[in-house]
Amino acid sequence: MLKKLIPSLALGAAALMMAFAPAQAAYPEKPIHMIVPWAAGGGTDVVARALVEAMKKFTDVAIVVDNVTGAGGSTGNKKVAEAAPDGYTILFNGDTDILGALSVMKTTYDLDSFKYVGGVFYSPTWILSHKDRNITSMKDFIEKAKADPNKLILGSTTPSGAQMVMCASIQAATKAPFRIVPYQGGKDMTKALLGNQCDAGIIHAPMLLPEVKSGVIKVIGTGGSLANCSYEPVRSIKPLAEEGIPVEMGINRGVLVPAGTPDDVVQKLTEIVKSAAESQEFKEFGERFGFTPQWTPGDAYKKGFVKQMETFEKAKAAM
Amino acid sequence: MSETILHIFSGFQLAVTDPINLLLMVAGTFLGLIVGALPGFSSPMAIVILLPITYHLKLPAISALLLMMGVYCGTKCGGSYPAVLLRTPGTPAGACTALDGYPLAQRGESGKAIGYAIMGSTYGGVFGWVIAVIFVPVLGKIAVNSRPEDLAVIGMLGLTMVSAFVRGNMVRGLIGVFIGLLIGTIGQDANDGAARFTFGIDELGNGIPFAAALVGFFGMAVVLSDIKEIGSVSELVSQKVSLVMPKLREVKKYWKCMTIGSLYGTLVGAIPGVGAEGSTWVAYATVKNKDKNPERFGQGAPEGILTPESCNNANNGGTMVPMLTLGIPGDGSTAIMLGALVLYGVDPGVTLMRDQPALVYALLAGLLISTIIMFFIGWFTCPMFIHVLKQDRAWLFPFILVLATLGAFSCSNSMYPVYVALAFGVIGYVFELCGISVVPIVLGIILGPVIEANARMALITNSGDWSVFVSSWWRAGMLGLIGLLLASNLYKTFKQS
Amino acid sequence: MNKNLLELIVSLVLIGFSAASLMTVGMAEDTASPFLLAQERSLGGIDYSSFPRLYAIVLIILCSLNVALLIKKRCWTTQLDASHEKRRRILWLTLATGVLTLVYTLLLPYINFVAVTAVFLFVMFRLYGRTNLLKNGTVAVAGSVLFWVVFVYLSHLTI
């Protein structure tokens, strides 16, 4: 009697098991919220939206960008770190921006609170100066600073963030007597640079690229390679490390998920993001924006975080 | 000059020849009016929703931006409707309109009040466009050369205007201002990131979200204070009211106050970082202080509606200047529009006017066209709004409370601003009971950070030298003016007591 | 309880808050950016605590002045203006509104938006005197759904 039942029992058990199968088996099946911890219209936000548009070709679900601003990005980072690890809440931010938030505040999350899907857009952090200041390179800036102590101003877009760390690192490495002045965001820094109110300013590339193209603003240094820049003349500017100032800083913007997210979900998400990042559409956006996008796989992306962390730790220790 | 005129014409051509563009402007303006009339739903919120939609539809850049421009203009007018009819503004910019709009409506002339609001908005929009188009290079230069010390002085000047909003003796007004200033210091210090008064709560690190405070003061507090009006048959409901558009000669009569309002709006909009949200109040205060009978204000004076409304629409023209000449946004809506430009591959920044003059002037043309469309749509849809907003308060108040919650929530997509709004609702209610105006608090919250951050920045960039505040004749003059205004206020107070 | 007495209490409370601010402003010291030199943070003799301290001190002075003025006017002897009965009703409605709104916002993160909003609206309509329960319910549900469509579905608010 029991033998006859076995097939039905097996079928029933299988059906039951399927009913209780984790929802992720069919990931993604509802809208994905991509959290951008910066204001709408800003650099990271624009890249995120371009990526989302490219991602739409590789998945049927809606992907929505949520701008969750505050605390140098920490509010948004925290929201994702504490979100349900089901792959429907993902973070889009830059590696050095996250590190900046971590190195200054006491946070409830850290690098281990996330799994790293991958980086989609790298750009170095560059040092700009108004053409009327007649500063030709960082070496020139350092010399002028030494000649006139405590006069030259190197601006940073925030008092505590990647750009500030770069300022502090440069000062520690060169021991040059210039002043570091923090501005109140990219908007403020842009205004100061355009109005020639500071000698030089540090900001993530490709902000102010149009002004560089027109010659109003000069690039006097960069924290990383500019070889991928869509504007040819700046490609040859050597990174600070090759000019004798051992400071590296750039921003690799990418996608992160909460740490508990199951591997298969991460895998599926990675496929979507990778395809979008390598798509023609995103490439064209990148070229227009200023840099050719590059895909950094998850492991390498995480390694990049750890490596950049050293710069932040060193800068903090030097103070 | 002739080249500019040529550009203006080609701009209009670009904006209107494609019928899609015209359609989008009409749709955008209509949407903007509705969004503006809903307390809690604001222009940046609507524009940020449209952004991915337009990007996905692969609309040409100019079409997407004209749609957003329509919304941008529409909200500035729509925000006045609930301000006039319910004392609760639909957008932060419309808060000042309630001061005279509501009393006028209470007297049974709500149609006229809305008429004035529409008229003021249209005047301001057109004026702002004219100034923007003519003075774009000049204003751009002023904006880019504005230094922190200038902004600090302007902020202080704005703060001295608070006397216009004080009921009773000056001490209460000053108390309000300093409460606002103190509240404004909550959060991370702009110059070194020190987290003041946060007590470990992360959200407080960003300070008090201004929009949430406004929603609390002018949405929730109003509901709490006006509960006594529920059920009472007010003149509003019993009269059959239709829109009464002011005659053209009334425009001539009030041109002074509208011009002052528009000038304020355009200039403040053109200089980023000076606290554009406060411009309506400061304009109102200026007009009131200059008037022969300032007691009329707050009782339904037409100037009290025309000035803030023209100011907030002129703001739109003003913010176009830094947006199009420098690539710097003046407010949330223009920040998103700039993002849209970047997404579409147009390089905003100093080169935009030179490389794409047609686009720039088409956008400006869109501003003017949207303002005119706004006038007509506002006129024709007004009865619809009046009908909705004149329902029994027993229906409206709960909806306003929900809208206030949603609006506060949308500040940062979290519950924190909602609690801020609730707290300010209670505070506003208590102050209202005492008879103390909350406007000085609002001015303190807006202008406090502007003054402090810029004053400290001025000192930092000048190595701690205080003389920087008087080192230019302009600044010294402004400080002298501030001193004079303070002295005259003190004198008036002593005369009273 | 009248206007002036309330104002007196408010002024006293404000003095308390200002004093508390003066005492706690120093707590911000260890959250300042570790990358800025100390002297750079206090140029011109002003640092992050200067403005809050100034505001707090001025507030204490102004509120004390106000308290003195109110006491001089003998604020507690002023007559109440409206009828006792009506005022109690309004006060109770106001309190109820405040409490219910607070409860609504506390429940929002945990219960479905449309459900809790509809219930809130329904309760508020009845509180404010609309007795047709069916109409209340219909408007409440319709309104909540409309809000959901506009704010959650279209605008993607994660409420």
- The residue of chain B nearest to residue A288, with distances taken between CA atoms, is B345
Find out whether the peptide bond into A206 is cis, omega within 30 degrees of 0: yes
**Is the CB of residue B423 less than 8 Å away from at least one CB of chain C?**
no
Q: Which residues of B touch C32 (CB under 8 A)?
A: 189, 192-194
Q: List chains touching B (3+ CB pairs under 8 A).
A: A, C
Q: What is the mean pLDDT of residues B282-301?
A: 89
Q: Do C34 and A104 lie within an 8 Å CB cutoff?
A: yes
Q: Are C97 and B223 in contact (CB under 8 A)?
A: yes
- The residue of chain C nearest to residue B402, with distances taken between CA atoms, is C117
Q: Do B412 and A69 lie within an 8 Å CB cutoff?
A: yes
Half-sphere exposure of B31 (CA within 13 A, CB side): 22
Provide the pLDDT for residue B126: 94
Provide the pLDDT for residue B386: 80
State yes or no: pLDDT of B274 exceeds 60. yes
Its ipTM equals: 0.90
CA distance B418 to C98: 13
Provide the pLDDT for residue C44: 80
**Is the CB of residue B204 less than 8 Å away from at least one CB of chain C?**
no
Counting DSSP H helices and E strands in chain C, the numbers are 5, 0
Q: Do C44 and B409 lie within an 8 Å CB cutoff?
A: no
Parts of chain A with a pLDDT under 50? 1, 12, 15-16, 19, 21, 23-24
User: In the predicted model, what is the mean pLDDT of chain B?
Assistant: 87
Measured in whole angstroms, the distance separating CA C66 from the mean position of its chain's CA atoms is 22
Q: Do C21 and B182 lie within an 8 Å CB cutoff?
A: yes
B-contacting residues in A 287-306 (Cβ below 8 Å): 288-289
The radius of gyration of chain C's CA atoms, rounded to the nearest angstrom, is 24
Q: Looking at the DSSP assignment, which residues form a beta bridge with residue A179?
A: A153
Give how far C107 is from chain A: nearest CA, Å. Answer: 19
**Is the CB of residue B337 less than 8 Å away from at least one CB of chain A?**
yes
Q: Are A125 and A65 in contact (CB under 8 A)?
A: no
Provide the pLDDT for residue A25: 57
pLDDT single digits (tens) B204-222: 888 888 888 988 998 899 8
- Chains A, B: CB pairs < 8 Å: 129
Q: What is the DSSP pairing of strand A250-258 with strand A114-130?
A: antiparallel
Q: Do C33 and A180 lie within an 8 Å CB cutoff?
A: no
How many other CB atoms sit within 10 Å of the CB of residue A80?
Answer: 25
Among candidates C59, C63, C39, which has minimal Cα distance to C51? C59
- The residue of chain A nearest to residue B345, with distances taken between CA atoms, is A288
Q: Of the candidates B203, B328, B460, which has its C-beta nearest A191's C-beta? A: B328
Provide the pLDDT for residue A1: 47
What is the pTM for the complete model shown?
A: 0.87
Collapsed DSSP state (helix, strand, coil) of residue A239: coil
- Chains A, C: CB pairs < 8 Å: 37
String of DSSP letters for B341-365: HHHTT---STTHHHH-HHHHHHHHH
Provide the pLDDT for residue A161: 86
Q: Do A316 and C40 lie within an 8 Å CB cutoff?
A: no
Give how far C148 is from chain B: nearest CA, Å. Answer: 10
Among candidates A140, A33, A42, which has minimal Cα distance to A90? A33
Q: Could you read off the pLDDT tens digit of each residue along chain C, which spans 159 residues?
A: 677 888 889 999 999 999 999 999 888 887 888 888 877 788 888 888 899 999 999 999 999 998 998 888 776 665 555 567 778 888 889 999 999 999 999 999 899 999 999 999 999 999 988 888 898 999 999 999 999 988 888 777 777
Provide the pLDDT for residue B186: 92
A-contacting residues in C 43-102 (Cβ below 8 Å): none
Q: Which residues of B touch A195 (CB under 8 A)?
A: 144-147
Find out whether the peptide bond into B294 is cis, omega within 30 degrees of 0: no
Collapsed DSSP state (helix, strand, coil) of residue C41: helix
Structure tokens at C2: 């009248």
Least confident of B111-115, B199-203, B267-271, B336-340: B199-203
Give how far C63 is from chain B: nearest CA, Å. Answer: 7
Collapsed DSSP state (helix, strand, coil) of residue A250: strand
User: In the predicted model, what is the mean pLDDT of chain A?
Assistant: 88
Q: Nearest 5°: CA angle at B427, between B424 and B433?
A: 140
Q: What is the mean pLDDT of residues B255-272?
A: 91
